[in-house]
Each structure stands twice: as structure tokens, then as C-alpha cells.
């Protein structure tokens, strides 16, 4: 019987691809049939994000625009996870996949409820314009918070995991449709994105700006790609034959649909001035490979047809991937075969999702400095909590956020942990970006007089973000400096100076930094005994911070982006050359390196080795020791330096990473296998080449640099010869 059962399983497994292929062919025939029954006006109406219903064909109204960057966004109650830059700091691929799955579960449940209520509004659909896999090349970019950081491999790996979690594992149907954005070569400035023409070198294009998108297409089978606002090599990214057809479809084999960023098709004739009329812009976009627009400029397609700029066959070709997406979601008419039809309200903000948000927040926070003050004991005598963001839930959210029915502010999380016998007090003490008007500020004396003072300071969504959302920014969300607002820095210095008067300079100042991007921490690190980068940690951020500060959890977050020493030494923001940008191309001006983060453990690396196997995988081994009495999660990182790659090549580049749990006072051998593809060099013409020679391999707790060594981070080095 067992043998028969095993045989049946093997037979079923063998038949699965055939069944999936047959089902996919069935959906393709259905898509073609639906399109054939549409009138010309109906076809055009289905090529903009807000599509009307076609009752005679059983098609309901549908808006393709939904957001799920770190939770279902802009659509009522949903679990709010850390902003993606914080997820990047986890270096936790499986966690990011689980978050994608949780977001998809909640969105399905919300979709089902909305449709029962005949609600077809924006943000109720199942096509999510997430994740953002642009490279955080410049820390001044206001939207850098939406990304997984500055490294293409980390970004692509986490983005791939997120997409797989979002879209599910069914071979035919999608749980939701995910979207890689913004394709391509976009990371600020916000103020010029509608008119800028970017002409990166072919090397920078293929080495930095495109790899994450390629991973999403070829490893995650992402369903949607969104074109960026800017031009690349003179073509609008939403009307670029090179990007949308030659690269995306022909080279990478992308099968899904391509959407423009919002009003980017209008930019083809308005912002960029490539053509003169809406009809010409619409024709340019569709002929280049665009399937659907966020906006309404494609209404000009009817005039474009009349002017013979485009054919109805072009419209049919563009429509097919759109219809396929909705068929694979099981929402173009009722589809009982779709396995994702049975979610309900109980799946929204479930205990499991809340626990996942807490875990992600804990893993995301990075301990930048600790002079031995942390973890705090819970029975300390006096504690003062202060800062503009300490008791404000908005400082947890970031952008593209959802709205939870529970938030734990930093103040609440701290108070939930400390002893009931501890005297805890709180005052904001300072405004986020304005001088204090009252010459009397009790918060300074109270903060200075406490045994320990926790100051929550930094940026929030009013100070940084997208073009129209950062209302306290006069640069449309970008930052001209990496410095914290002057009023906040003045407040911190007042507390420090007064502590000296009270002879409590060593009594303890703990700074909790918020925000979605690097800040200038030179002075902060001198004034504070401990510094924590909390990012925008989502709804459970306060609980996570409390657990970490008081030692119920150990820090494991690592920086997914370099913290420069001096922001004034950065290249011009508008310059898209990668020279002197990110850890891969920077030799100095590094204050905290990529991959850096402290913990309560004491971790060291020894006995590294690297061998190239016959199957062209690089096998890397090392011993990792935790010589503390704390359970520690270490993020082991492998960097490779390629011989003879030229002066513009990366100094080192991340080739692998792994979170490793280390028991107290223990040593563990870790083995990693790295595919040869990760070792290839991008040549000046954009081609890939596996060079022969002796490769340097670095294994440790941060990207190798002089600053890394000065900070005392353990990094060991070995070599491997590749023929």
C-alpha cells in the first residue's frame, strides 16, 4: 500500500506542470475571447488604472491602484509592518517572505468584504504597486525609506522573497499581483523626476540599477513592473522601447503587465517634451510596450488610431497581459478554481500577523553605539523619556502606510517594560522642526536630573518622503543635509550640558533615532551613551524598542545603507554615476559602514576558507564564536573583491549573507555556497564576465573598510583562485 501511495504521489507531482500549463492555456484563450468581444471604446477604457465595468461581459469595475509596501496601505484597518528600509536591516529573507504572505492574506480578506459591499474604490483591489526595488544610491533621497537599501543583491534577494510571499505558490493563480518599481534608474531628486534625463554608463546600469529588477522577473515571476517618471537615454521610462521591450520582455522574458507611474504618460509630452500631444504620448507608450497607465492620457489612443499612429491590434496585444492578470487573480468574473477565495475578517490584524510585525520591528532596529549602558535594568530608580517622536504614533509609520487599530508608541513600549517601582516621567521637550518659543523648558532639567534619559529624535513623514507628502519639507521630500533638525540637536545638547552640571554625565543618555535614511551622527554619538536606529518600525515599534532596551530581546539589525561621515562630501545629488557612492565604491567618508550593527553578544570570526567546486559554486566556511552569555543572532556577510576588474569596479560586493543563531559561549561552523553568477564582473559595455585570478573573500559582521576595523567589527579574509 505504501508503495502504491508513493507511486501516486510521484505521478501527481509529474502531472502538476502539465495541469498548470493546461490551465494557463485555458486562461489565455479566455483572455483573447474577452478582448475580441470588446468595442474599441471598451478596450481603451480598460487601459487606465480606474477601469469601468462592462456588464454585458460580466466584468466589474476595477482600479488597479493599490499599495502594500509594508502592509495593506490606505485602506482602513491592516497590520502595519516596518518600512522596507527597516526590513532591509533585518537581512532576513524568510521573514520578508512571511510579511509578503501576511499582506496578501489581509488584502484578499479586505477585497472579499469590499466586493460584498459593492465597493470598487481605489485601494480595494488585488494589484499591488509594491515592492520598490530602486537602489538607495544617495541618502538625501526622501523615498529611500521605501527601498531595501543600497545593495543590488540584498535588494533583489529581499524583493524576490517579498514578491513570492505576496503572489503565493499556486502554479496558476495569484494570491495578489506584486509590482517591481520604479523601472528604472530612479532614486531622486523628487523635484526633477518629471523632466530629468539620466544617462548612466552601461556598467552602472547593469551593475547597480537593473539587477534587482532582473531577479524579480526571473526568480520571483513578478506579475507587474512599473515604469519610472524620468527618462533614460532620452526615452521616457514609461515609453522606452529599450527598457520595456528589449530588456524586460525580450532579454528577461517578462510575461506580466507594465504600468506607468501616475501621470508619467502625460510627462512624455508635458514634462519631457518628447512629443507634442496626448495622442502621440499615448501611442509612444503603448508601441514601446506599456500595457496600462496610472492616469488618463491613454484616452488619447482613439485619436492616435484615427491618425494611424497605432493599430487596434496594438491595443489587443497590450490588453492581453492585463486580462491575464485579472484571470490569474480569479476576479474577472467568478472563478471557483481560484484557491484564494475563502479569507475573512478574522484574517485581518490577526494575532499571528501582530506577532510577525513585532518580530520584524525587533529585527529591524540597529544598535549603533553602546558604551555599556544597555541593556537597562528594569528596576532603575528614575527614567525620563523625551523627544518630539516619543509619544507620537505617526513617527512609527513612514510612508505608504496602512492604519492599524493598535499602535505602541516608543513611550508606551518603554513604560510597559520598566518596573512599577521606577519613577518614569515624560515631556516632549522639543518640536520636530521649530524652535521652542517658551524660554522656560522644564524638560531639560528633568531629563538631566534622571538616572537615565531616553531621547527619541530624528525625522518623520513630515520631513522626508515623496513629492507631495512631506509637508514640512521645502524640497518636495528630499533632504539637502543629513543633519537632524537644528532644534532637536539643540535640545539634546542642552540635556547633555545640564547633566554635566548635575554631575550625571555618565548617568546615561540613550538616543533613539527615527527616520528612513542615514543621518549625520557624529555629534549625536559624542553626546549619547547609546544610539539606536529605529527607522519607521510600524505598529509594534514601541514594544520592540522596550524589549531591546531592557534586554528581553537582543539587537540583530544591520545597516542596509552606509551612514556617511559628512553629507557635504557626497557627490552631487543629480549625478547618477556610482563613483564614491555606497559601500561598493566608497573608500572614505564612512561613519557607520554597510552591514554594521552591534548586539549584546561578542562575536568573532576565525579560520576562513573558500574553495571553488566543480559545479561552479564557491564554498565558503568560517567559525563564528559568541563569547558572551547572551543568545545572539549574527548576520554573517560574505564580500568578494574581483581581481583586475578596473578602477571603477566595486571595491567589494556582497555575495552572500545568513542570519546565524549563536548560543552563549559557543562556536559554530557556518558553510555557505555561492553561485558563480554572483562572482561575475560587469564590464564597461554592460556584459558579464567571470574573470580568472585570485579573488579576495571577506567574511564578517560588516562590509570591509578601514572604518569597520576601527569600530572593532570582526572581519576575516581568505583567497580563492578561479581559472
Q: What is the mean pLDDT of residues 112-138?
A: 98
pLDDT over 60 (residue 11):
no
Distance (Å) of CA 647 to CA 182, 644, 683: 29, 9, 12
Q: What is the mean pLDDT of residues 233-252?
A: 98
C-alpha 689/C-alpha 687 separation (Å) is 7
Structure confidence at residue 12 (pLDDT): 63
Structure confidence at residue 644 (pLDDT): 86
Structure confidence at residue 506 (pLDDT): 47
C-alpha 667/C-alpha 560 separation (Å) is 26
DSSP string spanning 538-600?
Answer: -TTHHHHHHHHHTTSS------SS-EES-GGGSPPTT----TT-HHHH-SS-EEE-TT--B-S
CATH code reported for the domain at 603-722: 2.60.40.10
pLDDT band at 16 (very low <50, low <70, confident <90, very high): confident
C-alpha 700/C-alpha 718 separation (Å) is 12
pLDDT over 90 (residue 449):
yes
Closest C-alpha to 338, from 346, 329, 347: 329
C-alpha 557/C-alpha 705 separation (Å) is 19
Q: Phi, psi (5° rounding) for residue 265? A: -70, -40
Instruction: Tell me the per-residue pLDDT of 84-119, one tens digit each, with 9 for 90 and over.
Output: 999 999 999 999 999 999 999 999 999 999 999 999
Structure confidence at residue 1 (pLDDT): 64
* Preceding peptide of 461 cis, ω within 30°: no
Grid cell of 636 as nine digits? 554573517
CATH topology for the 352-582 domain: Rossmann fold (3.40.50)
CATH superfamily, domain at 38-347? Glycoside hydrolase, family 3, N-terminal domain (3.20.20.300)
| Cβ(260)–Cβ(64) below 8 Å | no
pLDDT over 60 (residue 679):
yes
C-alpha 48/C-alpha 190 separation (Å) is 24
C-alpha 279/C-alpha 301 separation (Å) is 6
Structure confidence at residue 159 (pLDDT): 98
Radius of gyration of the chain (CA): 26
Query: Which H/E stretch holds residue 611?
Result: strand 603-612
Q: Where exactly are the structural domains of the chain?
A: 1-36, 38-347, 352-582, 603-722
- DSSP structural state of residue 333: T
pLDDT over 50 (residue 723):
yes
Q: What is the mean pLDDT of residues 431-445?
A: 96
Q: What is the mean pLDDT of residues 227-244?
A: 98
pLDDT over 50 (residue 694):
yes
Q: What is the mean pLDDT of the chain?
A: 96
pLDDT band at 645 (very low <50, low <70, confident <90, very high): confident
Fold match flag (352-582 vs 603-722)? no
pLDDT over 90 (residue 9):
no
C-alpha 390/C-alpha 411 separation (Å) is 5
* Helix extents (H) in 69-151: 84-90, 93-116
**Residue owning grid cell 537581512:** 91
Residues in CB range of 548: below 8 A, 6 or more apart = 362, 365, 367, 375, 532, 554, 555
In the chain, DSSP finds a helix count (H) and a strand count (E) of 19, 25
Q: Cα 641 from chain centroid?
A: 26
Q: Which of 2-16, 349-363, 629-643 has the lowest mean pLDDT?
A: 2-16
Instruction: Tell me the per-residue pLDDT of 507-541, one tens digit each, with 9 for 90 and over.
Output: 699 999 999 999 999 999 999 999 999 999 999 99
Structure confidence at residue 503 (pLDDT): 63
Using a cut of 0.95, tell me whether the model's pTM lies above it: yes
Query: Which H/E stretch holds residue 296?
Result: none
C-alpha 99/C-alpha 585 separation (Å) is 32
Residues in CB range of 4: below 8 A, 6 or more apart = none
pLDDT over 90 (residue 703):
yes
Cα four-point dihedral sign 581, 582, 583, 589:
positive
Based on the residue annotation, tell me whether 261 is a catalytic residue of this protein. yes
C-alpha 359/C-alpha 361 separation (Å) is 5
Grid cell of 253 as nine digits? 522574458
Structure confidence at residue 552 (pLDDT): 98
Distance (Å) of CA 476 to CA 83, 268, 468, 471: 20, 21, 6, 8
Instruction: Tell me the per-residue pLDDT of 363-413, one tens digit each, with 9 for 90 and over.
Output: 999 999 999 999 999 999 999 999 999 999 999 999 999 999 999 999 999
**Residue owning grid cell 552563549:** 664
The residue from 151, 261, 478, 529 that is catalytic is 261
Amino acid at each position: 500500500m505504501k508503495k502504491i501511495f508513493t507511486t501516486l504521489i510521484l505521478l501527481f507531482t509529474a502531472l502538476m506542470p502539465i495541469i498548470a500549463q493546461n490551465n494557463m492555456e485555458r486562461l489565455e484563450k479566455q483572455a483573447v475571447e474577452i478582448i475580441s468581444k470588446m468595442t474599441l471604446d471598451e478596450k481603451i477604457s480598460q487601459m487606465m488604472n480606474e477601469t469601468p465595468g462592462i456588464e454585458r461581459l460580466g466584468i466589474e469595475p476595477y482600479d488597479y491602484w493599490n499599495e502594500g509596501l509594508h502592509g495593506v496601505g490606505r485602506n482602513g484597518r491592516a497590520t502595519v509592518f516596518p518600512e522596507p528600509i527597516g526590513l532591509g536591516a533585518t537581512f532576513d529573507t524568510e521573514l520578508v517572505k512571511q510579511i509578503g504572505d501576511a499582506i496578501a492574506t489581509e488584502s484578499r480578506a479586505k477585497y472579499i468584504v469590499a466586493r460584498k459591499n459593492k465597493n470598487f474604490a481605489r485601494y480595494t483591489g488585488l494589484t499591488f504597486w509594491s515592492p520598490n526595488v530602486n537602489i538607495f544610491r544617495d541618502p538625501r533621497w526622501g523615498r529611500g525609506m521605501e527601498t531595501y537599501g543600497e545593495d543590488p543583491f540584498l535588494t533583489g534577494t529581499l524583493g524576490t522573497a517579498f514578491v513570492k510571499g505576496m503572489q503565493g505558490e499556486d502554479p496558476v493563480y495569484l494570491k495578489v499581483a506584486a509590482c517591481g518599481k520604479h523601472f528604472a534608474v530612479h532614486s531622486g531628486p523628487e523635484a526633477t523626476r518629471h523632466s530629468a534625463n539620466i544617462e548612466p554608463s552601461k556598467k552602472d546600469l547593469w551593475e547597480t540599477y537593473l539587477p534587482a529588477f532582473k531577479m524579480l522577473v526571473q526568480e520571483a515571476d513578478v506579475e507587474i513592473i512599473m515604469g519610472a517618471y524620468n527618462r533614460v537615454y532620452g526615452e521616457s521610462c514609461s515609453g522606452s522601447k529599450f527598457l520595456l521591450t528589449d530588456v524586460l520582455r525580450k532579454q528577461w522574458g517578462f510575461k506580466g503587465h507594465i504600468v506607468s507611474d501616475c501621470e508619467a504618460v502625460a510627462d512624455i509630452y508635458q514634462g519631457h517634451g518628447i512629443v507634442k500631444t496626448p495622442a502621440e504620448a499615448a501611442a509612444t507608450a503603448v508601441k514601446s510596450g506599456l500595457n496600462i497607465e496610472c492616469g488618463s492620457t491613454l484616452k488619447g489612443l482613439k485619436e492616435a488610431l484615427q491618425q494611424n499612429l497605432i493599430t487596434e491590434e496594438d491595443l489587443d496585444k497590450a490588453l492581453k497581459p492585463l486580462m491575464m492578470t485579472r484571470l490569474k487573480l480569479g476576479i474577472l468574473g467568478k472563478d471557483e478554481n481560484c484557491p484564494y477565495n475563502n479569507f475573512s475578517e478574522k484574517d485581518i490584524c490577526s494575532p499571528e500577523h501582530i506577532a510577525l510585525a513585532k518580530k520584524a520591528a525587533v529585527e529591524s532596529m540597529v544598535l549603533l553605539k553602546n558604551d555599556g549602558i544597555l541593556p537597562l535594568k528594569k528596576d532603575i530608580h528614575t527614567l525620563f523619556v523625551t523627544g518630539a517622536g516619543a509619544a507620537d504614533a505617526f513617527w512609527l509609520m513612514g510612508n505608504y502606510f496602512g492604519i492599524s487599530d493598535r499602535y505602541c508608541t516608543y513611550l508606551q513600549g518603554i513604560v510597559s517594560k520598566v518596573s512599577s517601582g521606577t519613577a518614569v516621567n515624560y515631556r516632549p521637550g522639543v518640536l520636530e522642526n521649530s524652535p521652542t518659543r517658551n524660554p522656560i523648558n522644564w524638560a531639560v532639567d528633568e531629563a538631566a536630573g534622571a538616572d537615565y534619559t531616553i531621547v527619541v529624535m530624528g525625522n518623520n513623514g513630515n520631513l522626508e518622503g515623496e513629492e507631495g507628502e512631506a509637508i514640512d519639507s521645502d524640497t518636495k521630500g528630499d533632504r539637502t543635509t543629513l543633519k537632524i533638525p537644528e532644534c532637536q540637536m539643540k535640545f539634546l545638547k542642552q540635556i547633555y550640558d545640564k547633566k554635566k552640571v548635575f554631575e550625571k554625565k555618565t548617568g546615561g543618555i540613550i538616543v533613539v533615532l527615527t527616520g528612513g535614511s542615514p543621518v549625520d551622527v557624529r555629534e549625536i554619538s559624542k553626546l549619547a551613551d547609546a544610539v539606536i536606529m529605529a527607522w519607521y518600525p510600524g505598529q509594534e515599534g514601541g514594544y520592540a524598542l522596550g524589549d531591546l532596551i531592557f534586554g528581553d530581546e537582543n539587537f540583530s539589525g544591520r545597516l542596509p545603507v552606509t551612514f556617511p561621515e559628512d553629507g557635504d562630501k557626497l557627490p552631487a545629488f543629480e549625478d547618477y554615476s556610482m563613483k564614491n557612492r555606497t559601500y561598493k565604491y566608497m573608500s572614505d567618508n564612512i561613519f557607520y559602514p554597510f552591514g554594521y550593527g552591534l548586539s549584546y553578544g561578542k562575536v568573532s570570526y576565525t579560520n576562513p576558507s573558500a574553495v571553488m567546486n566543480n559545479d561552479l559554486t564557491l564554498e565558503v566556511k568560517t567559525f563564528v564564536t559568541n563569547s558572551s552569555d547572551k543568545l545572539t543572532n549574527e548576520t554573517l556577510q560574505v564580500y568578494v573583491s574581483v581581481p583586475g576588474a578596473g578602477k571603477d569596479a566595486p571595491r567589494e560586493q556582497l555575495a552572500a549573507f545568513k542570519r546565524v543563531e549563536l548560543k552563549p559561549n559557543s562556536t559554530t561552523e557556518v558553510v555557505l555556497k555561492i553561485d558563480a553568477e554572483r562572482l561575475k564582473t560587469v564590464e564597461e559595455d554592460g556584459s558579464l564576465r567571470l574573470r580568472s585570478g585570485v579573488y579576495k573573500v571577506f567574511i564578517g559582521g560588516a562590509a570591509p573598510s578601514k572604518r569597520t576595523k576601527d569600530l572593532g567589527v570582526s572581519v576575516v579574509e581568505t583567497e580563492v583562485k578561479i581559472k
